[in-house]
Amino acid sequence: MKREFEKFLGQKILEYQSNLKRKNNGIIPKLNSDLILGFYAYSLNHFIETLEDIPNKYQEIFAD
């Protein structure tokens, strides 16, 4: 089950990055890039089992 959630998170991050590139002529704005890097750092230091375990400041990445 945990592996499936990790795949889900990875897919959502890729979708977020793709949408940003599409909207910004192939470039991810620095603010959004910093958001993604911040989430990666957070995920390395915290145990994430559900979307509720992710702080609000990173929820933009996983919004549908």
Q: How many domains does the chain have?
A: 1
pLDDT at 37: 96
Radius of gyration (C-alpha) of the chain in whole angstroms: 12
pLDDT at 2: 81
CB-neighbour burial class of residue 11 (10 A; exposed 0-12, middle 13-18, buried 19+):
exposed
Tokens of 44: 């390395």
CB 53 within 8 A of CB 46: yes
Domain hosting residue 53, numbered range:
2-62
pLDDT digits (tens, 9 = 90+) for 7-29: 999 999 999 999 999 999 999 99
Instruction: Reply yes or no on whether the pLDDT at 1 is more than 90.
Output: no
